Amino acid sequence: MESYRKQLLALQKEILASELGAREGAQPVELDQSRVGRLSRMEAMQAQAVALESRRRRQLKSQQIKIALQKIDAGTFGLCSRCDEEIDKRRLDFDPATPMCISCAQSMEK
């Protein structure tokens, strides 16, 4: 469990650093046509949309990490949040913040 805790804390730190570096890309787009051309504005708006989606994904991952750390403290780490079966160790090794076993994750995608 301690190795998973270390991995999760390292991921949490990495996400925080990434969030701090990405704030500039999510700034509102300047609409002044005299300063910025139409294509440049479109590119800026697309970059802003990408930055906002990346932020949403970082927030989701951060929440998953927080829950996984809480599960470690509660002694329920490694159990699927949907069916309460054990999550395969290989899946946890790949992503210790994963909340579901592979069966439940696949059924959620359908």
Work out the angle at residue 56's Cα, subtended by the Cα atoms of residues 12 and 109, and round it to the nearest 5 degrees.
Answer: 100
Which residues, 6 or more positions from 4, have their beta carbon under 8 angstroms from its beta carbon? 68, 72, 77, 92, 96
**Residue 27 predicted with pLDDT over 80:** no
Indicate left, alpha or beta for 80 from its phi (over 0: left) and psi (-120 to 50: alpha).
beta
Question: How far is residue 60's CA from residue 101's CA, in Å, rounded to a whole number?
Answer: 18
Q: Please answer whether residues 70 and 79 qualify as being in contact, where contact means their C-beta atoms are separated by less than 8 angstroms.
A: no
Q: Please answer whether residues 77 and 1 qualify as being in contact, where contact means their C-beta atoms are separated by less than 8 angstroms.
A: yes
- Mean pLDDT across 10-17: 92
**Residue 30 predicted with pLDDT over 60:** no
Distance of CA 27 to the CA centre of its chain: 20
Architecture of the domain delimited by 2-109: Up-down Bundle (1.20)
Question: How far is residue 36's CA from residue 52's CA, in Å, rounded to a whole number?
Answer: 21
Q: What is the average pLDDT value for the chain, to the nearest integer?
A: 86
What would the 3-class secondary structure string for 52-72 be? HHHHHHHHHHHHHHHHHHHHH
Give the per-residue pLDDT at 22: 67
64-107 residue pLDDT tens: 999 999 999 999 999 999 999 999 999 999 999 999 999 999 99
31-70 residue pLDDT tens: 555 555 666 777 878 888 888 899 999 999 999 999 999 9
